[in-house]
Structure 1
């Protein structure tokens, strides 16, 4: 694998970096793949006046999220997946639930070989476009969708023109069948006026190469 040309920011916090660049005047945050709510808490702390829209398609986790933030007026939980077309798709729920995906697992099984990674069940979930969910562009978007990030970005449609920052997981080797790799996602974002601020939390492969990371995109 060739050395990637983007800056690795190992050990640095992309959320703090994002908040410094965007400033506190943020009205809406999209948290795609909100999981157990850890990143929702980060956004509430960084942007106390924002509405955090938390998307989590796994029914068990979505119910827990809704219960956890039931009394938090700044959080709206949506138990649906994000994509480029409205649909009902099959979610592959793995034993390690955070690795569940709308795509079939491939390299992720090797990446997390130390964890139980068998297929626990499949669940049909609703998929929505963000531009059908939102009247106005969100200021900040975070996506951790196990290979479905570019589909969710495409679902923003013209709203992406108003987005200030995107934190998006990218892979440089295939983790799920058919997922777009990092260079394709980055090229798509650059064509829409973003630049890569850096790659955070890089995951090294067996030979020290970066196989996945969280890419922080800011307006160029």
Structure 2
């Protein structure tokens, strides 16, 4: 049994060498873009969007297409991605502010861990993940010393508060939310990545997200971009849509 277990582990590491990569979005289920378009069709129109974990700016580009009048605050700690962000947001750059920081519960400095997957053929997927947290599979490929700021402080410094808040933080969502209490008072819609695997050490759990957002006056609106691990179909995670309980998107209380 010991030999077979080691062989199975070696096969798994060969096929899936990096943290939480090679996951597949379940076809036929709603995407984030689908649901934002649906919200727009119901009259939802945010004036300010905060994109925390902006990566290369691709999501910001999609959001601009849906809400062309919105101003976007892109928050990304990895300085190696800033050129790509500028490229993806160049057509609407006058509506974009880039904040060079990670988000957390307190201001300070931390190490941003970066895992690379060189087997991927393009620069987007070659970065398997980056997180302020450690990973159970071992040391990151490399790390960067980055500033950490509270979302409330960023909003105050930027002179605007989010109507739509998106968090894609690879397990570090709860500390970021604890630093966004005032921002959440203003915000109507939150899109927050959740994970079901214990890959990142001390990662935020779905239950913690549900509990915190309930305390802040939000209700679960949808679950989108659900992903499964290919070799055993275990649920990896997806994105929660939370809306304020008094939002117009929740104005109808029953089925009909």
The partner residue of 1:178 within 202, 208, 215 is 202
> Does residue 134 in structure 1 map to residue 152 in structure 2?
no
CA spacing shift, 1:9–1:83, aligned 2, 3 Å? farther
Q: Partner of 1:217 in structure 2?
A: 242
For the residues of structure 2 that align with 1:186 and 1:63, how far apart are their CA atoms?
Answer: 35
CA spacing shift, 1:10–1:217, aligned 2, 3 Å? farther
The partner residue of 2:184 within 160, 164, 174 is 160
Q: Partner of 1:4 in structure 2?
A: none
SS in structure 1 at match of 2:238: strand
Q: Partner of 2:4 in structure 1?
A: none
For the residues of structure 2 that align with 1:33 and 1:198, how far apart are their CA atoms?
Answer: 21
Q: Partner of 2:5 in structure 1?
A: none
Q: Partner of 1:28 in structure 2?
A: 48
Q: CA deviation at 1:67?
A: 5.0
Q: Partner of 2:14 in structure 1?
A: none
SS in structure 2 at match of 1:160: helix
Q: Partner of 1:12 in structure 2?
A: 30
Q: Which structure 1 residue ranges, 5 or more long, are not aligned? A: 1-7, 110-116
Q: CA deviation at 1:144?
A: 0.7
The partner residue of 1:200 within 224, 234, 237 is 224
Name the one with the larger helix percent: 2
RMSD of aligned residue pairs (Cα, Å) = 2.3
Q: CA deviation at 1:34?
A: 0.9
Q: Is the 8 A contact 2:61 2:89 kept in 1?
A: no
Q: CA deviation at 1:49?
A: 1.2
- Residue deviations 1:68-104 (CA, integer Å, cap 9, x gap): 4356101111121011100100011111424111100
Q: Which structure 2 residue ranges, 5 or more long, are not aligned? A: 1-25, 118-126, 246-256
Q: Partner of 2:116 in structure 1?
A: 95
> Does residue 57 in structure 1 map to residue 77 in structure 2?
yes
Q: Is the 8 A contact 2:36 2:66 kept in 1?
A: no
Q: Give the TM-score of the pair, scaled to structure 1.
A: 0.83
**Higher mean displacement: 200-209 or 77-86:** 200-209
Q: CA deviation at 1:133?
A: 1.2
Q: Give the TM-score of the pair, scaled to structure 2.
A: 0.72
For the residues of structure 2 that align with 1:9 and 1:186, how far apart are their CA atoms?
Answer: 25
- Residue deviations 1:168-215 (CA, integer Å, cap 9, x gap): 110122121111211111111111111112221212245444231111
For the residues of structure 2 that align with 1:9 and 1:164, how far apart are their CA atoms?
Answer: 28
For the residues of structure 1 that align with 2:56 and 2:238, how far apart are their CA atoms?
Answer: 20
Q: Is the 8 A contact 2:60 2:89 kept in 1?
A: no
Q: CA deviation at 1:126?
A: 0.2
CA spacing shift, 1:36–1:163, aligned 2, 3 Å? same
Q: CA deviation at 1:27?
A: 1.2
Q: Is the 8 A contact 1:32 1:142 kept in 2?
A: yes
